[in-house]
């Protein structure tokens, strides 16, 4: 009996061992699922300098050169540093004065007064003349400027107003004829203090005004063929005006005026 129990126990042990092996085989035979990690999608590429269309450059047309507005300038035949008062009309009164001092012709006038000073020893027809003007007391509609082809009673007057405009007139005694109405100019000093180089190119019947070497306008008139040069100051407002002039130069012009176009 005991022998049977021992054999039975051995059989149970073998059965248990076989059963455990079978379970182990099942466990070992079952595959373990593997999780495959996918790589993250690539980040978008940043284009720092995106391509652009190649620009088409505009071809500019060639502009014609600006014509020379002071043709035919020749030798300077007169220079005046205004150190000598004898060639000029000078005077002094309670109303106005024109005096040369320290290489300047100083012209001062009271309100409502017009003063002219001419150089007496010059008679020119075709020329280019320049003089420097420095307004020291000047406002509003006060005017000053350059006289050409002048004598004691008649001349051409190129005016600078203290409101920044320029104009031209023909003057004969108390009569005046407007040749160029007042027009604004960036070269005309707007009041005082200021400084401007006034130039007039005169050939035949045509006269051209320049300020600081820049062309302003042209006028034509056949009344006065020659004469001297001079300056003026006019206090048109309620206050006095004063302008000083210096460094006069006059040079020849060899340019011949164009012949008038014949009418059909």
Torsion of CA 139, 233, 245, 226, to 10 degrees: 140
* pLDDT of 255: 79
Q: How far apart are CA 154 and CA 171, in angstroms?
A: 5
Q: Is the peptide bond before 193 cis (omega within 30 degrees of 0)?
A: yes
Whether the Cβ atoms of residue 135 and residue 234 lie closer than 8 Å to each other: no
Residue-level length of the chain: 264
Q: How is the chain split among helix, strand and coil, in percent rounded to 5?
A: 10, 45, 45
At the topology level, CATH places domain 74-253 in Jelly Rolls (2.60.120)
Q: How far apart are CA 111 and CA 77, in angstroms?
A: 37
Look up the pTM and report it. Answer: 0.73
Bridge partners, 157 (sequence order): 147, 169
Among 166, 182, 161, 171, smallest CA distance to 223 is for 171
**Alpha-carbon distances of 197 from 17, 149, 156, rounded to whole Å:** 128, 19, 18
| Cα dihedral sign, 199-203-204-209 | negative
Whether the Cβ atoms of residue 137 and residue 242 lie closer than 8 Å to each other: yes
Among 160, 128, 135, smallest CA distance to 146 is for 160
CA 13-15-18 angle, 5° bins: 110
Residue 230's CB is within 10 A of a number of other CB atoms, namely 26
* pLDDT of 121: 87
Residue 175 is encoded by which pair of tokens?
Answer: 């009569």
* pLDDT of 233: 98
Residue 49 is encoded by which pair of tokens?
Answer: 């300098």
Residue 201's CB is within 10 A of a number of other CB atoms, namely 25
* pLDDT of 191: 87
Beta-carbon contacts of 218 under 8 Å, excluding residues fewer than 6 positions away, are: 206, 207, 208, 209
DSSP 3-state assignment of 32? coil
pLDDT in tens, the chain (264 residues): 555 444 555 554 554 544 544 444 444 444 555 454 555 555 555 545 455 555 554 444 444 445 689 999 999 999 999 999 999 999 999 999 999 999 999 999 999 999 999 999 899 999 999 999 999 999 999 999 999 999 999 999 999 999 999 999 999 998 999 999 999 999 999 989 999 999 999 999 999 999 999 999 999 999 999 999 999 999 998 999 999 999 999 999 997 766 444 444
Q: How far apart are CA 188 and CA 197, in angstroms?
A: 9
* Bridge pairing between strands 143-150 and 154-161: antiparallel
* pLDDT of 65: 47
């Amino acid at each position: 009996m005991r022998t049977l129990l021992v054999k039975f126990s051995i059989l149970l042990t073998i059965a248990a061992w076989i059963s455990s092996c079978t379970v182990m085989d099942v466990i070992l035979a079952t595959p373990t699922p593997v999780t495959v990690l996918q790589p993250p999608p690539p980040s978008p590429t940043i284009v720092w300098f995106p391509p652009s269309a190649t620009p088409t450059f505009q071809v500019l047309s060639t502009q014609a050169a600006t014509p020379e507005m002071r043709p035919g300038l020749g030798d300077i035949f007169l220079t005046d540093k205004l150190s000598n008062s004898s060639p000029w009309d000078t005077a002094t009164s309670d109303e106005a004065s024109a005096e040369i001092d320290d290489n300047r012709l100083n012209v001062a006038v009271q309100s409502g007064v017009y003063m002219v000073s001419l150089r007496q020893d010059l008679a020119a027809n075709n020329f280019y003349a320049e003089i420097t003007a420095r307004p020291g007391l000047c406002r509003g509609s006060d005017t000053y400027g350059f006289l050409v082809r002048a004598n004691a009673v008649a001349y051409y007057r190129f005016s600078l107003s203290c409101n920044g405009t320029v104009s031209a007139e023909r003057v004969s005694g108390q009569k005046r004829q407007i040749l160029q109405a007042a027009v604004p100019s960036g070269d005309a000093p707007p009041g005082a203090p200021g400084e401007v180089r006034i130039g007039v190119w005169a050939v035949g019947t045509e006269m051209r005004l320049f300020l600081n070497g820049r062309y302003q306008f042209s006028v034509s008139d056949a009344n006065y063929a020659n004469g001297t040069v001079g300056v003026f100051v006019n206090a048109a407002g309620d206050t006095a005006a004063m302008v000083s002039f210096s460094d006069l130069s006059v040079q020849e012009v060899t340019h011949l005026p164009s012949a008038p176009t014949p009418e059909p």
